Structure 1
Amino acid sequence: MTKSYLILAYAITPVHVGMGRAPGVVDLPFQRDSIGYPIVYGSSFKGVLKSTLMSKNNKLAKCVFGAEPEDSEKYMGRFIVTDLIPVFYPIASLDGYVYVSTDYLIKKAEDILSVVRGGTNNNIYNKNDKGEEVNILLGRLKSPYTLTLTVKGIGSLIKDKVYVFDNDVGLQVIESSLIRVTRNVLNDENKTSQNLWTEEYLPQGTVFIGGIIDAERTNELCKDVGDVDNMLRENLDNISVFLGGKETIGKGLVRIKVIS
């Protein structure tokens, strides 16, 4: 079986990974998939992982993720990075806050799990077929099933139970959990507004699922770094990285957990 790693990421602060300016209420929305759900594309996630690894072990980073644009010799990295999918979202409720997801997101996660874990017996959650009602921002809604999270130690906000909603209301539920922040640039002399815009963030506590898959190819640098698999896991497991380029305002900090 191809060597692969399950990646869990936990938002320590709100996270914005932008898709550029867009028309509408939100000037700088979060990246979206074809259905409209937030997503961190593999290219964005790979860039963050590679940059982090470069600061620790330059040869290992280039072995795993490939050559830099300025390198004279061009070669592909040994590993493939999937998209990072925000799956579990905290949302306000009458009980303080709860975690929510949708059937669509769970199926997307299970597609990744089927590759990196060899099946959907994933050791991340257990499915409970009995539906439950919960009071959230949209009112009292019934989820057709819930999940019991079994992953531990990734973040302090995580609760064991996740309410999973049908796709007909699912996207609306997820949208209601997102944070929209209006920012402003002031003229230093007269304090008048020079620019006003709105950014979209995933809330603190959001849990993402992704994967790193061994493409079973090599390059010259891989021959000089030793046990690539163990070194990759040791250098990326339990690290904190910034997604989305908002670190100067304290946003985008996530913790990474690597499960082999």
Structure 2
Amino acid sequence: MNKNINKIKGDSKEDQQYIKSKLIILKTMTPLHVGAGEGSGIADLPIQREAATNIPKVESSTFKGSLRCSCEKMLDEEHVKILFGNENNKTGEIAFTDLRLLFFPVKSSKNIFSLISCPYVLERFYDDIILYKTKLISGIKDLLTNMRMLDSNIAVTLNSDQENIYLEDYLFKTEKIHIEKLFSNIHGLEKMLSRIVIISNDNFIDFVNYYTEVITRNKIDAETGTAKNTALFTEEYVPEEAIFYGVISRFHDIFDKNKNKNVYEEFIKNFEFGEKLNKFRIGGNLSLGKGIVKIIN
């Protein structure tokens, strides 16, 4: 059992034959609604959330389906079947994780809006990327450990010249820490450093629960052109500017590591340097311009 675990973790050069992965960091360009059915909370149609933490997420099946839809327009049909599987129950050669929330946008007294995160989310992010063989810069573990017990009134920023910062309607005292070390080896995040604010775990959970977008909509009778009786309903959205991350992997212990290698590499190449898959759509209400996301790394 331990041997198999080590293969997935990639603890040695020998293990690299078993897994090849790509970290994907996404920014929501427009509000995102990936539905979880009907709800009884703040919205009739809530978004997907993690069961234990209630943090917004995007299921791996939704992530995979959205990418497949985009790939069908730019890749050979046979290559799409190799990568994603086909109707004959042939397993695809790539695996997807859920998209996890890394930064959540909120109104701020600095820079119009801030991207908030918390120690729990950041530690989990680094646990995930270590699993897929991204090396940590020395000192990051200590920095994360020191932030675990943040006071509820403290907001960690990068060399802020302000003693206090408002996030939505709440005032926080700023603590200046060189948090650039956390993100200096993660391409795509370095441009966001001035907006990043790290708050306590409890405060972060409150923000992602109560500061999503909730939009009221109306159903129109197609015959009369007027609103139907009791037709008002509400939908919940993750705001634009939110940052999610996920991982796409190809497991070489399941498939011949050389067979179809060029197909996988062609697929991954489309993510890099602003190529074809730079932007795509996830979730519902695409005809309303919702769910446009951009790969930033």
- TM-score range, shorter-chain basis? 0.7 to 0.9
Give the equivalent residue in structure 1 for 2:31: 14
2:7 maps to what in 1?
none
Which of 86, 100, 103 pairs up with 1:85?
100
Determine which structure has the larger helix proportion and give its number: 2
Q: What is the alpha-carbon distance in structure 2 between the residues aligned to residue 146 and residue 184 of structure 1?
A: 48
Is the counterpart of residue 62 in structure 1 residue 81 in structure 2? Answer: yes
Confirm or deny: 8 A CA contact 1:10 1:207 kept in the other structure. Answer: yes
* Larger Cα-atom Rg: 2
C-alpha deviation, 1:211, in angstroms:
0.4
Give how far 1:154 is off: 8.0
Aligned counterpart in structure 1 of residue 204 of structure 2, from 170, 179, 189: 170
Stretch of structure 1 that moved more, 182-191 or 54-63: 182-191
Unaligned runs of 5+ residues in structure 1 are: none
Task: Report the equivalent of 2:68.
Answer: 50
Greater Cα shift, 107-116 or 6-15: 107-116
Residue 211 (structure 1) aligns with: 247
- Report what 1:113 is aligned to: 129
Q: Which has the higher strand share?
A: 1
What are the Cα deviations for residues 197-236 of structure 1, in whole angstroms up to 9, with x where unaligned?
11111111111111011211338xx94x561342011234
Whole-Å separation in 1 of the counterparts to 2:247 and 2:105: 22
CA distance in 1, matches of 2:68, 2:287: 20
1:243 CA drift (Å): 0.6
The residue that corresponds to 2:281 in the other structure is 242
Pairing 1:30–2:47 present: yes
Does structure 2 retain, via aligned residues, the 8 Å contact 1:80–1:212?
Answer: yes
Counterpart check, 1:251 vs 2:290: yes
Q: TM-score, normalised by structure 1?
A: 0.83
1:90-149 CA deviation, whole Å, 9 max, x = no partner? 210122211101222212222221122334449xxxx68684552112411247767435
Structure 1 pair 12–256 and aligned structure 2 pair: CA distance change class (3 A): same
Native 8 Å contact 1:236 1:257 kept in 2 = no
Residue of structure 2 in register with 1:191 after alignment: 226
Distance 2:36 2:80 in 1: 26
Q: Separation in 2 of the partners of 1:60 and 1:6?
A: 21
Q: Between the two proteins, what is the percent identity of the paired residues? A: 25
1:49 & 1:155 partners in 2: Cα distance?
25
CA distance in 1, matches of 2:227, 2:237: 26
The one-letter amino acid of 2:239's match is P
Q: Does 1:102 align with 2:118?
A: yes
| Change beyond 3 A, Cα 1:52–1:169 | same
Q: 1:53 to 1:29 in 2, by over 3 A?
A: same
Shift of residue 257 of structure 1? 4.4
Count of residue pairs the alignment pairs up = 248
Pairing of 1:149-164 with structure 2 (within 5 A)? 149-150=183-184, 158-164=192-198
CA offsets per residue over residues 24-55 of structure 1, 9 Å max, x none?
22111110002101000111101111121122
SS at match of 1:3: strand
Distance 2:97 2:136 in 1: 17
Normalising by structure 2, report the TM-score: 0.73
Shift in alpha-carbon separation, 1:118–1:94, aligned structure 2, 3 A: closer
**In the alignment, is residue 3 of structure 1 matched against residue 20 of structure 2?**
yes
Change in Cα spacing, 1:226 to 1:38, as seen in structure 2 (3 Å) is closer
Is 2:206 the counterpart of 1:180? no
RMSD between aligned alpha carbons?
3.0
Contact 1:16 1:246 in 2 (8 A): yes
